[in-house]
Structure 1
Amino acid sequence: MRISQSDEGGSRQTDAPAGRKSRVRAFMALCVLIAIVGGLIVWQPEDLALWIKALHIVAVISWMAGLLYMPRLFIYHTDAEPGSPTSETFKVMEQRLLTVIMRPAMMITWALGLYLAWSVYGFQGGWLHTKILAVILLTGVHLHYADAVRRFSQDGTRRTARYWRLMNEVPTVLMIVIVILVVVKPF
């Protein structure tokens, strides 16, 4: 895999200004989401749970996108020589994916999901308990990826590309289980 870099004075996506812009955009998006949720809670529409559910689904999609993309970055990063320009680019990509997309999306997913579990279902139902367990496992995968980002950033020990290919399947399996539990509510 080749990472193109502009040496003609153009702004690179790995530069500090680009990182600041990404963080500002992510912060603004988070503020907008918080304002929407706050406005909905104040407004108290009859279908508040549906609004919260829609925002929960958006957060889940964002979190899952990161959980499915991160192992792909790890696969390519594993093949890059530690300290090389390519490795340094992957470090920036992994860190931004984790902090700008995945972590906020996970926190929003949890907050809105727990609100729905309490307000709509009263934390009742075997399917809901199983779903929460699956989301806890998904959070464990997220934390494992965060640890890998830290290890890669320190040029520490690396797992094999084969390992990351297998780890790429774990969020997919958990997502399938969660969707079936939510839609079918088998028990």
Structure 2
Amino acid sequence: MYEWLLWFHVISFISWFAVLFYLPRLFVYHAENIENEGFVKVAKIQEMKLFKYIGVPSMWATILSGAGLIYLGGWMSSPWLHVKLLFVALLIAYFYSLNKYRLEFLEDRCTKSGKFFRIYNEVPTLLMLVIVAMVVLKPF
């Protein structure tokens, strides 16, 4: 059972990260083409579908399968897990910040630049580095 749950967790994690990497990139294009009505209309649809239909389900699948792995692995007292969970919480906050920007774009009130979103797009990479290091290296 554990191996199948781990498999599902990794697939969910990859799917969620696809959204975490691509949605801010869509925001770059959206911000830089704000005057192009046709493009903006399509971007809003893509952003919504990516967030709601791929992002939210894959985030919950990652969280729930991760909780199952913690339970089955008996790791609740492991210090590395607490560090990992802290960074996962930051990742969840980042994910919902993307929804905040998505809604601002939807209502034509986002004032952030393409450059901002290029930089903001690096946040999940940094969080992922720590999360994966905690799981693989278990340093504490």
Kindly state the Cα deviation for residue 153 of structure 1 after the two structures are TM-superposed: 0.6
Corresponding residue number in structure 2 for 1:21: none
Unaligned runs of 5+ in 1: 1-47
* TM-superposition CA deviations, 1:123-149 (whole Å, max 9, x none): 121100010111000001100001111
Instruction: Tell me the distance in 2 between the aligned counterparts of 1:166 and 1:121.
Output: 37
Quote the RMSD (CA, aligned, Å): 1.1
Tell whether the 8 Å contact from 1:83 to 1:155 is kept in structure 2 after alignment: no
Instruction: Tell me the distance in 2 between the aligned counterparts of 1:102 and 1:124.
Output: 30
Going from structure 1 to structure 2, the CA distance change for 1:185 and 1:122 (only over 3 Å counts) comes to closer
Which runs of structure 1 show a deviation greater than 6 angstroms over 4 or more consecutive aligned residues? none
Tell whether the 8 Å contact from 1:63 to 1:102 is kept in structure 2 after alignment: yes
Matched residue SS, 1:156: coil
* TM-superposition CA deviations, 1:66-125 (whole Å, max 9, x none): 100111100000012357111111000100000111110000000010111122124121
Structure number with higher relative contact order (C-alpha < 8 Å, ≥ 6 residues apart): 2
Q: Which amino acid aligns with 2:85?
A: I
Unaligned runs of 5+ in 2: none
Matched, 1:125 2:125: no
Instruction: Tell me the distance in 2 between the aligned counterparts of 1:82 and 1:125.
Output: 51
Matched, 1:103 2:56: yes
Q: Which amino acid aligns with 1:134?
A: F
Matched, 1:88 2:41: yes
- Structure index of larger Rg: 1
Corresponding residue number in structure 2 for 1:138: 91
Count residues in correspondence: 140
Q: What TM-score, normalized to structure 2?
A: 0.96
Tell whether the 8 Å contact from 2:101 to 2:110 is kept in structure 1 after alignment: no
1:1-187 equivalence runs, <5 A:
48-81=1-34, 84-187=37-140
Percent of matched pairs sharing the same residue: 35
